[in-house]
Amino acid sequence: MNCRFARVGCSAVLLSAAALAVPKAFAQDASIDQLLKKLPPPEKFAKPPVERALQQPDAALKDPLVKEIIGAVRMRNFQRALDFSRQLTQRYPRSAGAFCLHGVLTLGLRQYAESSAALRKAIAIQPNFAFAYFLLGNVEASQQHFTSALPHFQKAAELEPKNPVAWIFVSACAEKAGRKQEAVEEAKRATAVSPAFLGGWLQLARAEKAVGQVNETLSALTRAAELSPDSASILAIVGYSYINLNRISQAIPPLQHTSQMAPRDFLVQSQLGYCLETTGQIDAAIDHLRKGASLNSNYGPVWEHLGLAYQKQGRHREAVKAFERATQIMPSYRLSWQHLADEYRAVGQIADANRAAARAQSLPAAAIETSKKKG
């Protein structure tokens, strides 16, 4: 069971990097939006709904039928669990806990009308039942009714103001309802209520990114990385964010850490090599660029920057091979042809150099071949 509205994600805005040679070509695959989608969504930080429902101080939840419901759920016999749940509400018509449990089960089975009715009954019995409001929000959000879901999440948060999960759900729902600045403010509430709660900072990063606040996004991600120092995904996004801000040297430490945790991630290896090359650490750059190229030989930018690194070391034959590969993968990228022409001249292949230079001159300065990008 999950609250799928948090998985929908933000609009796609590709990462760009300003620095030497072909930073835009090199960074295009590092879409922060796409990577943020892969981080744990808000529902990951909420307790399993059945578990939360059973924690209610309600006498009905001590009935033997509840053990039958739990057993059926564990056996994944959800219809049997639902039948027992209906019996429980009939046996305890004034039990908010019984109706809440019934609402959880029907929500999991996508029987939204029945779930909504059960949860509204629970609220009628117990008007300050925060979890029932929270589940009502999920009923609406699961149907993509974000505007309708938002008041329920807000009510749950008002009733449990110190619960950061409630606020991040308000934030995520507000964002999907098109109220992006409100999403930022609600995510900030989550971080204020519980500064050590990872989910709040991740949601704040998503919300800040949605309103285009790049520095604020990085600040939230940096805090998330401090709370989860062993998360390669979060550290990678921090590194890519520094590249996006042209703070190349600051991107190196998180990417180095990530490269150790995810040694077979071609993009991490390639981006780290790019940063090292840009800051003049050529030997180390070549090691990582070669590794990135070996992990994904069809990633054009890594060959471009490998060629540049070889060029800086005067290893012209190796630079020629790298630039030739780059032009094969990105045939419409002008700079690769220009660099290839320079290296052909360096090794005395004048006719080849003239042909490469002519090809470069025939191409628009900013054209980049995109068909070979990482999938």
Domain ranges of the chain: 19-32+229-375, 39-212
User: How much is the average pLDDT of 333-352?
Assistant: 96
Burial of 84 (0-12, 13-18, 19+ CB in 10 A): buried
* pLDDT, position 22: 33
Residue 315 has pLDDT above 90, yes or no: yes
Confidence of residue 145 (pLDDT cuts 50, 70, 90): very high
* Rounded (10°) angle between helices 300-312 and 316-329: 160
Q: How far apart are CA 230 and CA 250, in angstroms?
A: 18
Strand positions, DSSP E, the chain: none
Prediction pTM value:
0.78
Residue 265 has pLDDT above 90, yes or no: yes
Fold of the 19-32+229-375 domain = 1.25.40
Using DSSP's 3-state secondary structure scheme, residue 48 falls into coil
Residue 2 has pLDDT above 90, yes or no: no
Residue 18 has pLDDT above 80, yes or no: no
Confidence of residue 365 (pLDDT cuts 50, 70, 90): confident
Share of the chain above pLDDT 90, in %: 77
Residue 32 has pLDDT above 80, yes or no: no
Distance set, CA 162 to CA 62, 100, 189, 201, 207 (Å):
28, 22, 9, 16, 20
User: How much is the average pLDDT of 152-163?
Assistant: 96
Fold of the 39-212 domain = 1.25.40
* pLDDT, position 60: 86
Residue 17 has pLDDT above 90, yes or no: no
Confidence of residue 320 (pLDDT cuts 50, 70, 90): very high
Residue 239 has pLDDT above 90, yes or no: yes
Same fold, 19-32+229-375 and 39-212: yes
Read off the pLDDT of residues 159-197 as tens digits, 9 standing for 90 and up: 999 999 999 999 999 999 999 999 999 999 999 999 999
Residue 372 has pLDDT above 80, yes or no: no
If you average pLDDT over every residue of the chain, what do you get? 86
Q: How far apart are CA 210 and CA 173, in angstroms?
A: 13
Read off the pLDDT of residues 277-312 as tens digits, 9 standing for 90 and up: 999 999 999 999 999 999 999 999 999 999 999 999
Share of the chain above pLDDT 70, in %: 84
